[in-house]
Amino acid sequence: MLRVVAFKKAILAGVVGAFAWDATSRILSVAGVPVLDLVRELGTLVVPDGRPIEWWPPGILAHALVGAGWALFYAYFFWGRFRWPPAIQGLAFSAIPALLATLIVIPQLELMHLPEHAVRLDWRWYLGGLEQTKLVGLLVGHAVFGLTVGAIYTRPVGYPVDRRPNLRCAARRNRSRPRGKRTQRDGAFIFATGIECSYPTIDRGRWRRDEMDGIRHYDVWQQDFALAREIGVSHLRYGPPLHLIYDAPGSFRWELIDEAMADLAEYGPEPIVDLCHFGVPDWLGNFQNPGVAPALSEYASAFAHRYPWVRFYTPVNEMYVCARMSALDGVWNEQLQDEAAFITAAFNLTSASVRMTDAILTARPDAVFVNSESSEFYQPCCPDPEIEALAAIENERRFLPLDLLYAREVSDAMLDRLKEDGWEDDYRGFMARKAPRRTILGVDYYEWNEKLIDQDGRKRALGELFGWYVIASQYWERYRRTMMHTETNRIDASDAPRWLWRQWHNVQLLRRAGVPLVGFTWYSLTDQIDWGIALSEAEGTVDPVGLFDLNRDPRAVGLSYFHLINMHRDRPEYRECGALMELLA
Amino acid sequence: MAGFLSAHGYAPGPTQRPVLAGAISGLIATLPAIAILSAFGSLAVEGAILGLSTLRTVGLGVPVMALAGALYGWLFGRAANDRRGGWLFGMAFGFALWASGAVMLIPLFTGGLAPAGKAAIGLFLSLVAWGAALGLLYPFVHRPLHESVEKAAERTGPTTGTRRMDRR
């Protein structure tokens, strides 16, 4: 699948566009402008000598069908490719059907109206073209069609926050029952993948992005779990849709995931449950709300009691990224661009993570916490004190949520900033806390994680300069926690197998260096939607980063991961991963 | 469109057999196309233009459409497996065949002779229907032709993307 296409919306746009064209033609006709009446041309193919009342219905039906087809074509191949207003995108697109109509379709319609079965044409007929007035009418008609389609067909993915998607995910279908029960080797190295599950809001909190909806996981969750088992992963990073489940304080719609969780419990892979992934339910607002932490604590507690067999948790995914995108870069949720708002979001997110952890431990004292965070690194481009200072700030800021979570003191400069914003008491509270023993620091890595601060103070993606080994080592040196590679992928599908093996070699090297590293993850199981633009708009563009595409056909990297897992999982050092065994003991 | 397909990872991958799947689907899709051609009398007209009997016209058309199906599989690659959009891609391909083959090439090779009237309508509808059927069938035909993950994975080892270094 290339695009997530909203079929109903596209068909509606095409049909309305066809009617708008016809209405325009009639108005121009009444005004005395000679135009090509395409509906009549089509209708009289069916009713050759009929009256308007006879040819109009089949004519407009054919016109609307063709319009719907073109609108779908627009939705697949054109929509969102240019940063223009939607109606203008539609207008530009209409040049394609207009050209085909002028050169091929209209002359052929003329032939179809002839009483003969065959005719002999000469080149003059081909080059004769349309009368100018008719040509203008045709172009105007297409322009009206394009403007209408463009104006109607927007946002093919996601939904308004106040409207729930019509989920069909609850029922488990028996026809694809897995063959074997879950067989879990405790303490074996974790080979994982994940179901991409981000659900932030955009458009000032009015539009919900929901990746699980976009990739159709709600419809085909059973198939997705089967594919994860086929690849051979032992663990699955899985984020139930918090925004759909957590209805109101004390109210949870567990029926949305009961069947899916039962399937994982019975057949595997073992889930690493991701409780908060870049968004909160509508009624909680956004990450500036201090009520987020107690509310999510209630959710975590209810979850742990509902599914007591779940052992691995990620209470809040990538806190730094979430705070940054929501409150500093202005892309998601509160969409602020403010240092103080970033710190507020970071404190609220970390506070949520801590309280959720405590709540889960009450229900499941031996729970394991995988605190996934995006590894980042900023390199100053040049020996300019200002640029170096900017890089230093960024390199300090990337650690803030983890520093709070793992009670590691921040730098003096950062502490001054926290005091200035009135966070000193909360900071001291975090520093007085001891993180649970069964905690894994998850370090995510993508090729854009290493950045250069250029002469103008702007960020540029450096690509894989130092690599995961070096960046993860910085996190190891800082926190000295058991670690896991919790996310990686490559947006260029053809290069993904090479990237997978490179990441794996980094993991092996870090293990050999003595770092307690317990797992590796290719993220995600399937392709994702709009991560190329950080979910900032509802485009529906598919990023081919998955082990499987959205038709659920394996990608080359899926086969490579299968190969990698088979090559390593039964080797003694992976069958019994000392660091994980120690952690679970 | 090709650029867009390419950017979105449409290369089929080691488990898939797009050309074979396209050829088989193209072959099966000729059934509704022949039915439409017959219903509109286009088959006889087409045969007359080409100087062939109806039977020979069908005999020539069937392998050509299988070949066209193979071309579809090769061109659209991974995207052709889309169960929701396949019919649309197939229809677009059928339209392109009509525009290039029936509209341009036939008159070119027959001294300007072209079907008209009902026969022309039938020819157009048959190719669009053939395309829609091709696109609809393709994912279902392709699925059982896939090579197993186990077998295909053997070719995706740790040397993927590396270069052998010559001894110096």
Give the chain B residue nearest A112 (alpha carbons): B117
Q: How close A485 gets to chain B, by Cα (Å)?
A: 18
Q: Residue B98 has what DSSP assignment? A: I
In a shared domain, residues A11 and A136:
yes
3-state secondary structure A255-278: HHCHHHHHHHHHHCCEEEEECCCC
Q: Over 70: is that where the pLDDT of B168 sits? A: no
Give the chain A residue nearest B132 (alpha carbons): A69
Q: How close A224 gets to chain B, by Cα (Å)?
A: 15
Task: Centre a 10 Å sphere on the Cβ of residue A576 and count the other Cβ atoms it contains.
Answer: 14
Buried b (16+ CB within 10 A) or exposed e, A504-535: bebbeebbeeebbbbbbbbbbbbbbbbbbebb
- What is residue B75's three-state secondary structure? helix
Whether residue A380 is contained in a domain is answered as: no
Q: Are A527 and B120 inside 8 Å of each other by CB? A: no
- Mean pLDDT confidence for A268-285: 97
Pick the closest to residue A198 from A471, A543, A563, A529 (CA basis): A529
Reported as a single tens digit per residue, the pLDDT across A65-96 is 999 999 999 999 899 888 899 999 999 999 99
Whether residue A384 is contained in a domain is answered as: no
Mean pLDDT of chain A: 93
Q: DSSP secondary structure string, A6-40?
A: -HHHHHHHHHHHHHHHHHHHHHHHHTT-----HHH
* Amino acid in position A579: A
Q: CB of A557 within 8 A of CB of A490?
A: yes
Q: How far apart (Å, rounded) are the C-alpha atoms in residues A214 and A157?
A: 6
What are the chain B neighbours of A567 within 8 Å (beta carbons)?
157-158
In a shared domain, residues A202 and A135:
no
Predicted pLDDT at A128: 63
Return the residue in B156, B159, B162, B163 with the most chain A beta carbons within 10 A, the one to mutate for interface testing.
Answer: B156
Q: How far apart (Å, rounded) are the C-alpha atoms in residues A80 and A297?
A: 39
Q: How far apart (Å, rounded) are the C-alpha atoms in residues A400 and A408?
A: 9
Task: Centre a 10 Å sphere on the Cβ of residue A27 and count the other Cβ atoms it contains.
Answer: 11
Whether residue A178 is contained in a domain is answered as: no
- Mean pLDDT confidence for A296-320: 98
Whether residue A147 is contained in a domain is answered as: yes
Q: Over 90: is that where the pLDDT of A265 sits? A: yes
In a shared domain, residues A135 and A221:
no
Q: Which residue among A73, A563, A564 places its CB closest to the CB of B88?
A: A73
Find residue A118's DSSP bridge partners.
B115
Q: Which residue among B107, B154, B160 places its CB closest to the CB of A497?
A: B160
In a shared domain, residues A360 and A293:
yes
Query: φ and ψ at A436, to 5 degrees?
Result: -60, 155
In a shared domain, residues A137 and A198:
no
Reported as a single tens digit per residue, the pLDDT across A124-139 is 766 666 677 778 889 9
Reported as a single tens digit per residue, the pLDDT across A361-374 is 999 999 999 999 99
In a shared domain, residues A287 and A138:
no
Residue A122 banded pLDDT, cuts 50, 70, 90: confident
Q: From A95, A130, A152, give the residue that closes a domain.
A: A152
In a shared domain, residues A203 and A311:
yes
Q: How far apart (Å, rounded) are the C-alpha atoms in residues A464 and A445?
A: 10
Reported as a single tens digit per residue, the pLDDT across B10-19 is 788 788 999 9
Predicted pLDDT at A176: 55
Q: Over 90: is that where the pLDDT of B156 sits? A: no
pTM of the shown model = 0.93
Return the residue in A227, A553, A562, A569 with the most chain B beta carbons within 10 A, the one to mutate for interface testing.
Answer: A553
Reported as a single tens digit per residue, the pLDDT across A222-234 is 999 999 999 999 9
- A424-432 CB contacts, 8 Å cutoff, 24+ apart: A426/A347, A426/A351, A430/A350, A430/A354, A430/A404, A430/A405, A431/A407, A432/A407
Predicted pLDDT at A322: 98
Token pair in block for residue A72: 């779908």
Q: Are B82 and A1 inside 8 Å of each other by CB? A: yes
Helices B117-142 and B18-39, axial angle in degrees (round to 10): 150
Predicted pLDDT at B14: 80
In a shared domain, residues A134 and A226:
no
Residues near A473 by beta carbon (within 8 Å), at least 6 away in sequence = A510, A513, A515
* Amino acid in position B76: F
Buried b (16+ CB within 10 A) or exposed e, A269-305: bbbbbbbbbbbbbeebebbbbeebbebbbbbbbbbbe
Residues near B64 by beta carbon (within 8 Å), at least 6 away in sequence = none
What are the chain A neighbours of B149 within 8 Å (beta carbons)?
230-231, 554, 558-559, 562
What are the chain B neighbours of A230 within 8 Å (beta carbons)?
149
Q: From A130, A152, A174, give the residue that closes a domain.
A: A152
Reported as a single tens digit per residue, the pLDDT across A400-429 is 999 999 999 999 999 999 999 999 999 999
Please provide the distance, in angstroms rounded to a whole number, between the alpha carbons at the two ends of chain B: 45
CA distances from A129 to A28, A101, A455, A477 (A): 22, 11, 57, 74
Reported as a single tens digit per residue, the pLDDT across A142-193 is 999 999 999 999 999 999 998 877 765 545 655 555 666 666 678 999 999 9
- Mean pLDDT confidence for A431-447: 96
In a shared domain, residues A63 and A108:
yes
CB pairs A-B closer than 8 Å? 150
Q: Peptide bond preceding A375: is omega within 30 degrees of 0, i.e. cis?
A: no
Q: How far apart (Å, rounded) are the C-alpha atoms in residues A253 and A244?
A: 7
Predicted pLDDT at A135: 84
CATH of the domain at A468: 3.20.20.80
Q: How far apart (Å, rounded) are the C-alpha atoms in residues A427 and A412?
A: 13
Q: How far apart (Å, rounded) are the C-alpha atoms in residues B21 and B90?
A: 13
Q: Are A112 and B139 inside 8 Å of each other by CB? A: no
| Count of the separate structural domains present in chain A | 2
Residue A3 banded pLDDT, cuts 50, 70, 90: confident
In a shared domain, residues A147 and A190:
no
Q: Over 60: is that where the pLDDT of A579 sits? A: yes
Q: Which residue among B83, B88, B156 places its CB closest to the CB of A69?
A: B88
Whether residue A89 is contained in a domain is answered as: yes
Sort B71 into a burial class: Cβ within 10 Å, 0-12 / 13-18 / 19+.
middle
**Which residue is it, tokens 């997978």?**
A500
Q: Are B83 and A551 inside 8 Å of each other by CB? A: yes
Please provide the distance, in angstroms rounded to a whole number, between the alpha carbons at the two ends of chain A: 44
Q: Over 90: is that where the pLDDT of A197 sits? A: yes
Q: How far apart (Å, rounded) are the C-alpha atoms in residues A349 and A355?
A: 10
- Per 3-state DSSP, what percentage of chain A is helix, strand, and coil (rounded to 5)? 50, 15, 35
CA distances from A118 to A56, A109, B48, B87 (A): 27, 14, 9, 30
Q: How far apart (Å, rounded) are the C-alpha atoms in residues A568 and A560?
A: 12
What are the chain A neighbours of B121 within 8 Å (beta carbons)?
45, 112
Higher pLDDT, A207 or A80: A207
Instruction: Give the lowest-confidence range in A126-130, A308-312, A530-534.
Output: A126-130
Q: Are A231 and B149 inside 8 Å of each other by CB? A: yes
* Amino acid in position A29: S
Predicted pLDDT at A557: 95
Whether residue A171 is contained in a domain is answered as: no
In a shared domain, residues A352 and A302:
yes
Task: Centre a 10 Å sphere on the Cβ of residue A12 and count the other Cβ atoms it contains.
Answer: 16
In a shared domain, residues A33 and A148:
yes
Question: Which residues form the domain of A14?
Answer: 7-152
Q: How close B140 gets to chain A, by Cα (Å)?
A: 12
Q: Over 80: is that where the pLDDT of B26 sits? A: yes
Whether residue A180 is contained in a domain is answered as: no
**What is the four-CA torsion angle of A294, A298, A303, A309, rounded to 10 degrees?**
90
Q: How close B61 gets to chain A, by Cα (Å)?
A: 19
What are the chain B neighbours of A215 within 8 Å (beta carbons)?
none
Residue A394 banded pLDDT, cuts 50, 70, 90: very high
Q: How far apart (Å, rounded) are the C-alpha atoms in residues B88 and A18?
A: 18
- What is residue B17's three-state secondary structure? coil
Q: Are A119 and B13 inside 8 Å of each other by CB? A: no
Radius of gyration of chain B (CA): 20
Whether residue A265 is contained in a domain is answered as: yes
CA-angle at A392, arms to A388 and A397, nearest 5°: 150
Q: From A152, A173, A205, give the residue that closes a domain.
A: A152
In A164-319, where do the E strands start and end?
Answer: 190-194, 201-202, 207-208, 235-238, 246-248, 251-252, 270-274, 312-314
Q: Are B81 and A551 inside 8 Å of each other by CB? A: yes
